[in-house]
Amino acid sequence: MKKLFTRGVIRVSALAACCAVGAMMAGTASAKDSIKVGVVTFLTGPAAGPFGVPGKNGAELVIDAINAGTLPAPHNSKGFGGATMEPVFIDEAGGGAKQVAEYRNLVEKQNVDAVIGYISSGSCMAIAPVADELQKLTIMSVCGTPRLFEEKPRSHVFRTQGNAVGDSIAAARYMVEMFPKMKSYTGINQNYAWGQDSWKFYDLAMKKLDPASQASDKPQFPKIFSGQYSAEISTMLLDKAPVVHTSFWDGDIEAFMLQGLVRGFFQQKKLVSVVGGSAVDSLGKKFPDGVVLGTRGKYGLLVREDMSDPLNAWFVTEYKKRYDVYPLGPSYQYAKAILYYKLGMDKAAKAAGGSPNQDQVMSALKNMKFNSFDGEVSMSLGEGRQAVHPVGYGITKWNAKKGEPGIEKVKYYGAECINPPAGTLSEDWLNQGMPGAKCN
Partner 1 sequence: MIETLKKDKTVRWIILGFLALAITGNFMEAWVQNNIMFGLARGLAVLGLMVLWRTGLISFGHALYFGIGAYAVGLVDRNLGISDIFLRLIFAVGASAFVGFLLGFILRKYRGIFFAMLNLAFSMVLYGILVKVESLGSTDGFSVSQTTILGWAPENKYALFAAIVIACAIGAVLVQCYLKTALGSLTTAIRDNELRVEYLGFSVARAIHVKYVMSAGLAGASGALLAMALGQVDPDSMVNWPVSGELVFITVMAGPGSVIAPFLGGVVFEFLRTYAFELAPEAWQLIVGGTLLGIIFFLPMGLWSLLERIWKRRGVSS
Q: Which stretch binds partner 1 (CB under 8 A): 29-37, 190-198, 204-212, 251-259?
A: 190-198
* Nearest-angstrom CA–CA distance, 433 and 419: 12
Question: Which amino acid would we find at residue 270?
Answer: K
Considering only residues 127 through 146, tell me which ones interact with partner 1, judged by CB under 8 A: 129-130, 145
Q: Based on the shown chain and the rule CB under 8 A, indicate whether residue 179 belongs to the binding site for partner 1.
A: no
Q: Based on the shown chain and the rule CB under 8 A, indicate whether residue 26 belongs to the binding site for partner 1.
A: yes
Exposed e or buried b per residue across 218-231, where buried means at least 16 C-beta atoms within 10 angstroms of its C-beta: ebbebebeeeebee
Q: Based on the shown chain and the rule CB under 8 A, indicate whether residue 204 belongs to the binding site for partner 1.
A: no
Q: Based on the shown chain and the rule CB under 8 A, indicate whether residue 424 belongs to the binding site for partner 1.
A: no
Q: Based on the shown chain and the rule CB under 8 A, indicate whether residue 50 belongs to the binding site for partner 1.
A: no
Minimum CB distance to partner 1 smaller for 95 or for 421 = 95
Q: Which stretch binds partner 1 (CB under 8 A): 61-69, 93-101, 345-353, 387-395?
A: 93-101
Among 192, 207, 214, 242, binds partner 1 (CB under 8 A): 192
Mark 271-310 with x for binding to partner 1 (rule: CB under 8 A) and - for no binding: ----------------------------------------
Q: Based on the shown chain and the rule CB under 8 A, indicate whether residue 82 belongs to the binding site for partner 1.
A: no
Q: Is 333 helix (H, G, I), strand (E, B) or coil?
A: helix
Tally of residues, the chain: 440
Q: For residue 222, say if its preceding peptide bond is cis, omega within 30 degrees of 0.
A: no
Q: Which stretch binds partner 1 (CB under 8 A): 15-23, 63-71, 72-80, 391-399?
A: 15-23
Q: Based on the shown chain and the rule CB under 8 A, indicate whether residue 1 belongs to the binding site for partner 1.
A: no
Give 329's contacts (C-beta < 8 A, 6+ positions apart).
54, 275, 277, 278, 295, 296, 297, 299, 300
Q: Based on the shown chain and the rule CB under 8 A, indicate whether residue 214 belongs to the binding site for partner 1.
A: no
Among 32, 69, 76, 109, binds partner 1 (CB under 8 A): 109
Among 102, 113, 250, 281, binds partner 1 (CB under 8 A): 102
Q: Based on the shown chain and the rule CB under 8 A, indicate whether residue 22 belongs to the binding site for partner 1.
A: yes
CA dihedral of 361, 363, 368, 372, whole degrees rounded to 10:
10
In 3D space, the residue among 303, 258, 295 whose CA is nearest the CA of residue 273 turns out to be 295
Q: Based on the shown chain and the rule CB under 8 A, indicate whether residue 119 belongs to the binding site for partner 1.
A: no
Among 49, 82, 88, 323, binds partner 1 (CB under 8 A): 88
Among 44, 76, 228, 357, binds partner 1 (CB under 8 A): 44
In 3D space, the residue among 183, 184, 208 whose CA is nearest the CA of residue 431 turns out to be 208
CB of 28 to partner 1, least distance (A): 12
Minimum CB distance to partner 1 smaller for 130 or for 271 = 130
Q: Based on the shown chain and the rule CB under 8 A, indicate whether residue 91 belongs to the binding site for partner 1.
A: yes
Among 191, 268, 357, 432, binds partner 1 (CB under 8 A): 191
Exposed e or buried b per residue across 243-257, where buried means at least 16 C-beta atoms within 10 angstroms of its C-beta: bbbbbbbbbbbbbbb
Strand bridging mode 391-396 / 292-294:
antiparallel
Minimum CB distance to partner 1 smaller for 53 or for 241 = 53
Cβ-based burial of 399 (10 A; exposed 0-12, middle 13-18, buried ≥19): middle
* Nearest-angstrom CA–CA distance, 106 and 407: 41
Q: Based on the shown chain and the rule CB under 8 A, indicate whether residue 223 belongs to the binding site for partner 1.
A: yes
Cβ-based burial of 33 (10 A; exposed 0-12, middle 13-18, buried ≥19): exposed
In degrees, rounded to 5, the angle at the alpha carbon of residue 209 between the alpha carbons of residues 203 and 212 is 80
* Nearest-angstrom CA–CA distance, 234 and 242: 14
* Nearest-angstrom CA–CA distance, 389 and 220: 30
CB of 21 to partner 1, least distance (A): 10
| Helix count and strand count (H, E) for the chain | 16, 15
CB of 343 to partner 1, least distance (A): 26
Query: What is the chain's Cα-based Rg?
Result: 24
Q: Based on the shown chain and the rule CB under 8 A, indicate whether residue 218 belongs to the binding site for partner 1.
A: no
Minimum CB distance to partner 1 smaller for 43 or for 182 = 43
Give 440's contacts (C-beta < 8 A, 6+ positions apart).
414, 417
Residues that bind partner 1 (CB under 8 A): 8, 11-13, 15-16, 19-20, 22-23, 25-27, 43-44, 88-91, 94-102, 104-105, 108-110, 120-122, 125-126, 129-130, 145, 191-194, 196, 221, 223-224
